[in-house]
A and B are shown apart, each in its own frame.
Chain A
């Protein structure tokens, strides 16, 4: 069972995604900038280097104040090895579709585990 020590500090929902996804989640009220200037969102465009995405992913998954990390699936595809390697319970990681890229269920981690459980 996950220890509750430090879990109370995990309150933010971080997002790594395209401009529209970030705009939407800012509208929803999940955007946050702490007193040190650290944001909980990163915009990814076609020009964003993979190293920037990896750095954002690493930062959000290591921060103690983040409970959930949302990432557009097409962005996660660019750092797929890092995403596959990630096994922590918290921050919880979820891939979401974007406006221009529909969700591909074959990359869903839960469905992959179901196949493994049923012996496929």
Chain B
């Protein structure tokens, strides 16, 4: 019995140290990514000026997260999977209620004016139809890049990409840490059993 428990403990410890190795690697990747991100941000500050990329340059009106954390419980492994997913687009409901009456009136107008319509009027109606379609389409969150500059320099885009990558790596690190915690609990239980057997 104690030999089996010892073997189980050895297997658990091997798995644990493998996870620890992966954790160290991921942490190293995270830190390097953040270093690159800060470096690119510093370059962008040189291009745009420090105040534009500082606290005074943030546009906090209607700030909505474009990336959200997704937590999923895994019953098999007893661990919560953590990942980053794009935020769902918000439908523009404010403008929609006014649309149906306009659209139906336009449709009615279109059908009634179809018989006697000059080309310029039909193109105007088509433009207004297109505008309605645009208003009814759900809009995703705005790219936060454009709050800092209408024509963001490549360094700012690169910084954004690195910070996004870092955010995703954060989720991987946290999930791995959770797996290690579950394994630690099992190790403690088995270790306790082995010590008692001795």
List the interface of chain A (C-beta within 8 A of B): 1-2, 4, 7-8, 10-13, 19-20, 22-33, 39-40, 43, 67-68, 70, 89-90, 92, 94, 96-99, 102-103, 105, 108, 110, 113-114, 117
Q: Please tell me if the beta carbons of A31 and B65 are within 8 angstroms of each other in the complex.
A: yes
A114: which of B20, B70, B166 is its contact (CB, 8 Å)?
B20
Q: Please tell me if the beta carbons of B177 and A19 are within 8 angstroms of each other in the complex.
A: no
Scan residues 139-173 of chain B and give those whose CB is less than 8 A from a CB of chain A: 141, 143-145, 148, 156, 159-160, 162-164, 166-167, 170-171, 173
16 A-B residue pairs with Cβ-Cβ distance under 8 Å, sorted by A, are: A1-B73, A11-B70, A19-B54, A20-B38, A25-B163, A28-B166, A29-B143, A29-B164, A30-B67, A31-B63, A32-B63, A43-B55, A99-B38, A99-B42, A110-B20, A110-B23
Q: Please tell me if the beta carbons of B144 and A29 are within 8 angstroms of each other in the complex.
A: yes
List the interface of chain B (C-beta within 8 A of A): 16, 20, 23, 27, 30-31, 34-35, 37-38, 41-42, 53-55, 58, 60, 62-71, 73, 75, 78, 80, 82, 84, 87, 141, 143-145, 148, 156, 159-160, 162-164, 166-167, 170-171, 173-174, 177-178, 180, 184, 187-188
Q: Please tell me if the beta carbons of A11 and B78 are within 8 angstroms of each other in the complex.
A: no
Q: Please tell me if the beta carbons of B144 and A10 are within 8 angstroms of each other in the complex.
A: no
In Å, the complex CA distance between A102 and B16 comes to: 26
Question: A89 with B30: in contact, given A2-B80, A19-B55 (CB under 8 Å)?
Answer: no
Question: A28 with B163: in contact, given A2-B73, A23-B58, A70-B170 (CB under 8 Å)?
Answer: yes
Q: Please tell me if the beta carbons of A20 and B41 are within 8 angstroms of each other in the complex.
A: yes
Write out the residue numbers on chain A whose beta carbons fall within 8 Å of the beta carbon of B41: 20, 23-24, 27
Q: What 9 additional pairs, Cβ within 8 angstroms, besides A30-B66, A68-B69, A117-B16?
A: A1-B73, A10-B71, A13-B170, A24-B38, A28-B166, A68-B171, A97-B31, A103-B27, A105-B27
Q: Please tell me if the beta carbons of B71 and A7 are within 8 angstroms of each other in the complex.
A: yes
B178: which of A10, A27, A89, A99 is its contact (CB, 8 Å)?
A89
Write out the residue numbers on chain A whose beta carbons fall within 8 Å of the beta carbon of B170: 13, 68, 70, 94, 96
A1: which of B20, B78, B184, B188 is its contact (CB, 8 Å)?
B78
A24: which of B27, B37, B66, B177 is its contact (CB, 8 Å)?
B37
- Listed from nearest, the 4 A-B pairs whose CB atoms lie closest are A29-B66, A67-B69, A28-B163, A32-B65
Write out the residue numbers on chain B whose beta carbons fall within 8 Å of the beta carbon of A20: 38, 41
A30: which of B82, B167, B174 is its contact (CB, 8 Å)?
B167
Question: A10 with B69: in contact, given A96-B30, A114-B20 (CB under 8 Å)?
Answer: yes
Question: A28 with B160: in contact, given A11-B68, A23-B41 (CB under 8 Å)?
Answer: yes
Q: Which residue of B lies closest to A103 (CB)?
A: B31
Write out the residue numbers on chain B whose beta carbons fall within 8 Å of the beta carbon of A25: 163, 167
In Å, the complex CA distance between A89 and B42 comes to: 35
Q: Please tell me if the beta carbons of B82 and A67 are within 8 angstroms of each other in the complex.
A: yes
In Å, the complex CA distance between A8 and B85 comes to: 13
* Distance to closest chain A CB from B157 (angstroms): 9
